[in-house]
Structure 1
């Protein structure tokens, strides 16, 4: 049997937290909230965590605004996701809600959501052919839910699905959401 090591022996001082934070940031970009949570688990003293975070910020290694901007741009360009989904993902990464909102609004200000939805449909539903896929009510409902999860506005989803549906009248039964800033 292995000898049980105590938690106190694994706790890190300020220097150890600095090394750990550099290792974590070298492996993957982190937000202040994510890094703070990881460091708190290893810190011998709580004030060492805040000191380390402040030092990382002053050196330019940790910047939530830069993280949010690159994350948002990557989600738009690589995955073609809607505003709501990107905001939700940023919040999961512990980005401040106001920063998440402003970053996403800035990145998506020139994006045509209808075009983005059409592109998403062509990319994600290409296997069975769009016409065949949207021939039945259950398939339209499934596509509608999937597009909502991808962060698109309900009104724009309905407009696009009407164009792709074999029977556009089936789309009329979906409940339109109130127009939000994400709907174009």
Structure 2
């Protein structure tokens, strides 16, 4: 009796890998690392994967720098995420760490992170007056953790939360890591 379920995809030659890569890039932008992983899973010859990636780069269909910059700009514009989260997501998408950090720095260079945090707090708690927000340490801790998950710097998160907290002195217990200054 024949089993139903997932079929194993047939291995592809160089032309098949080229078509698969074009279809993948047409569906959504990919980093070189993501596309390499997809192609390796289907390749009959691993050398064809490198040749296909080189050809894509030659035609400028694949560019990790452009991908990282566009990804970071989209996350800032649409989701209003912090730098740390975007850098982490780019690394998860197999972008080189130095390239990810450079793209995020370029995108977030003129952005005031405290203003982003304040905008998030106003949007998230829009029915509440600022003095009524975060009445106790549990609410403050919850808001702080949420801001950390969104990728914001802890010092900036504390500064912004102090402006909205009913009792800002409760935030003194949250010790932000020391800021590194380059001199």
TM-score exceeds 0.5: yes
Matched, 1:57 2:57: yes
How far apart in 2 are the matches of 1:6 and 1:71? 33
Matched, 1:114 2:119: no
Matched, 1:145 2:131: no
Question: What are the ranges of 5 or more consecutive residues in structure 2 without an aligned counterpart?
Answer: none
Shift in Å, 1:127: 5.2
Q: Residue 125 of structure 2 aligns with which residue? A: 125
Q: Residue 159 of structure 2 aligns with which residue? A: 159
Contact kept, 8 Å, 2:133 with 2:164, in 1: the verdict is: no
* 3-state SS in 2 of match to 1:53: helix
Shift in Å, 1:180: 4.5
Going from structure 1 to structure 2, the CA distance change for 1:39 and 1:129 (only over 3 Å counts) comes to farther
How far apart in 2 are the matches of 1:159 and 1:3? 60
How far apart in 1 are the matches of 2:131 and 2:18? 56
Contact kept, 8 Å, 1:10 with 1:42, in 2: the verdict is: yes
How far apart in 1 are the matches of 2:101 and 2:7? 43
Map residues 1-184 of structure 1 onto 2, 5 A cutoff: 1-2=1-2, 10-126=10-126, 130-180=130-180
Question: What are the ranges of 5 or more consecutive residues in structure 1 without an aligned counterpart?
Answer: none
How far apart in 1 are the matches of 2:141 and 2:47? 52
Contact kept, 8 Å, 2:135 with 2:165, in 1: the verdict is: yes
After superposition, what is the alpha-carbon deviation per residue over 1:132-183, rounded to whole angstroms, capped at 9, x for unaligned? 44112101000001111111111111111111001111111112112157xx
Shift in Å, 1:90: 0.5
Shift in Å, 1:131: 4.0
Shift in Å, 1:108: 1.1
* 3-state SS in 1 of match to 2:30: coil
Shift in Å, 1:86: 0.8
Contact kept, 8 Å, 2:39 with 2:49, in 1: the verdict is: yes
Paired residue total: 180
